[in-house]
């Protein structure tokens, strides 16, 4: 990974998530994907590293990746009648649902996949085979992978390692392409959002530098005489210096010799700077299609009733669903054998989002049971409860009797 422009060390939290999401970087490996480093008009070079230092980018990417990563990914088998059942005995089922790689859980793996998609628009993983059987998916860092076509038009993946560049055939790599992926690679959100992210980085640096110098002049100190150099030095050292900087704010100043202190209120420039920083949050959320209130920016946003509910539904529909569908279809294309694609399907269980909302979960189960869509034992299994006797029949809403026996019950 290219180093930061200012030469500072990358925060440890970013190092950790980088390593977990994209695999352990081989020592000496070089980046060969040049599109991940872009300059902005604000004067900051925007890379995935620096972009994650912007709180809004971090919050948006974390929200998307953690939400998708915690959804159960199941493999279903479809019979000739169109009925679906869990393909528990299929070797791909446990790999997708439990541990796609021996070093990562399913949550960590799919969280890293969405993190890669949100930053770069692509996720790569090398297929590890044993005797013709897929046993693991090893994530590849996107900055070390380059996609090209050979003379026959087939895709080839070049992966930079400490020992040089290794080429893989298309059937050796699991590749999920993000938006704009009709070509060989998806479009990089960080590259296209470099102006917005660069402006936010510049604003953050300006705010940090300003606060390091005491935020701004808090007031004006006046005296009724002309001071010589020694007097100016004494006032600076004994009166001004003890109150400079955020660590020294809030102290009690003692004035003498007719000194007067006049506080300086917020200027229009200060207010405009705050508005700029607020707009940067909204602008970055727009790039990731995340409602600002979900990253802690509640300005101009309702937090009550159906307004909040509709924003949540919009996020699930337009923010998360594209990621889920792209991963599901990439699995079908790349991991499921062509002969099985008609009857095997990988799918995220979005009902997992209701796991922490007991009221919504209970309402969902009630509708499904009383309308004969699910049985009570199916609900009990979802709630990790043991099966109950005589609870496998589908019932209807009117009298909760088994389907097909309404006439008998009413006549009796």
Model confidence over 48-59: pLDDT tens digits? 888 888 888 999
Strand partners, 347: 74
Q: Find, among 9, 20, 15, the residue nearest to 65 by Cα.
A: 20
- In the DSSP assignment, the letter for residue 158 is E
- In the DSSP assignment, the letter for residue 104 is B
For 79-105, what is the mean pLDDT?
Answer: 89
2-41 burial, b at 16+ Cβ within 10 Å, e below that, comes to eeeeeeeeeeeebeebbebbbbebeeebebebeebbbebe
Residue 76 burial class via C-beta count within 10 angstroms: exposed 0-12, middle 13-18, buried 19 and up: middle
Q: What is the 3-state secondary structure (H, E, C) of 379-411?
A: HHHHCCCCCCCCCCCCECCCCCCECCCHHHHHH
Q: What tens digit of pLDDT does each residue of 361-393 get?
A: 888 888 888 888 888 888 888 877 888 888 888
Highest-confidence range of 105-114, 188-197, 218-227, 266-275, by mean pLDDT? 105-114
CA dist 162 and 224 (Å) reads 71
Query: Which strands make up the sheet holding 122-130, listed edge to edge?
Result: 133-140, 122-130, 173-177
C-alpha distances out from residue 35 to 32, 397, 411, Å = 9, 58, 74
Query: Does 278 have pLDDT greater than 80?
Result: no
**pLDDT value for 407:** 59
Residue scoring higher pLDDT (321 or 20): 321
What's the token pair of residue 182?
A: 């009709």
Residue scoring higher pLDDT (54 or 397): 54
**pLDDT value for 260:** 74
Query: Does 26 have pLDDT greater than 50?
Result: no
**Contact predicate 29/183, CB 8 Å:** no
CA dihedral 284→287→290→295, nearest 10 degrees, is -20
Query: Does 252 have pLDDT greater than 90?
Result: no
**pLDDT value for 237:** 74
Query: Residue 328 is inside which H or E element, if any?
Result: helix 321-334
Highest-confidence range of 32-46, 163-177, 342-356, by mean pLDDT? 163-177
Residue scoring higher pLDDT (21 or 181): 181
Residue scoring higher pLDDT (208 or 101): 101
pTM as predicted: 0.71
Q: What tens digit of pLDDT does each residue of 193-233 get?
A: 888 888 888 877 776 666 665 555 566 777 777 777 887 78
Q: What tens digit of pLDDT does each residue of 329-370 get?
A: 999 999 999 999 989 999 998 876 766 667 778 888 888 888
SS3 at position 345: strand
**pLDDT value for 281:** 85
**Contact predicate 225/70, CB 8 Å:** no
Provide, rounded to the nearest whole percent, the portion of the chain with pLDDT above 90. Answer: 27
Query: Does 85 have pLDDT greater than 70?
Result: yes
CA dihedral 210→213→217→218, nearest 10 degrees, is 100
CA dist 105 and 97 (Å) reads 9
Mean pLDDT, the chain, whole residue set: 78
**pLDDT value for 336:** 93
């Amino acid at each position: 990974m290219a180093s930061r422009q200012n030469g500072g060390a990358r925060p440890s939290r970013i190092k950790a998530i980088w390593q977990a999401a994209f695999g352990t970087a081989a020592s000496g490996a070089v980046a060969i994907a040049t599109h991940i480093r872009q300059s902005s008009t604000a004067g900051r070079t925007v890379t995935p590293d620096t972009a994650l230092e912007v709180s809004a980018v971090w919050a948006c990417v974390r929200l998307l990746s953690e939400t998708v990563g915690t959804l159960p990914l199941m493999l279903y088998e479809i019979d000739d009648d169109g009925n679906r059942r869990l393909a528990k005995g299929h070797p791909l089922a446990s790999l997708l649902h439990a541990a796609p790689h021996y070093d990562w859980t399913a949550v960590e793996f799919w969280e890293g996949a969405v993190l890669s998609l949100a930053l770069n628009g692509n996720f790569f993983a090398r297929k590890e085979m044993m005797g013709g059987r897929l046993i693991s998916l090893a994530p590849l860092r996107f900055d070390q992978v380059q996609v090209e076509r050979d003379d026959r038009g087939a895709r080839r993946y070049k992966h930079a390692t400490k020992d040089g560049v290794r080429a893989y055939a298309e059937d050796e790599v699991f590749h999920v392409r993000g938006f704009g992926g009709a070509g060989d690679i998806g479009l990089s959100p960080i590259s296209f959002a470099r102006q917005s992210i660069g402006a936010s980085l510049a604003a953050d640096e300006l705010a940090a530098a300003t606060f390091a110098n005491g935020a701004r002049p808090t007031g004006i100190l006046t005296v009724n005489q002309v001071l010589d150099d020694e007097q100016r030095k004494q006032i600076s050292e004994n009166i001004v210096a003890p109150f400079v900087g955020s660590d020294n704010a809030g102290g009690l100043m003692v004035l003498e010799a007719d000194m007067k202190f006049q506080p300086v209120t917020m200027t229009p420039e200060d207010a405009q700077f705050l508005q700029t920083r607020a707009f940067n949050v909204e602008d970055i959320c727009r790039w990731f299609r995340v409602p600002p209130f979900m990253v802690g920016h509640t300005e101009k946003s309702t937090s009550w009733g159906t307004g909040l509910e509709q924003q949540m539904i919009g996020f699930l529909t337009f923010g998360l669903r594209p990621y889920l569908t792209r991963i599901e279809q990439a699995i079908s294309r790349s991991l499921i054998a062509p002969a099985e694609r008609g009857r095997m399907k990988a799918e995220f269980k979005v009902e997992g989002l209701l796991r922490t909302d007991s009221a919504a979960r209970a309402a969902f189960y009630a509708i499904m049971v009383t309308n004969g869509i699910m049985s009570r034992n199916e609900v009990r299994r979802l709630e990790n409860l043991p099966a109950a006797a005589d609870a496998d029949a589908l019932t209807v809403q009117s009298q909760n009797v088994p389907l097909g026996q309404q006439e008998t019950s009413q006549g009796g």
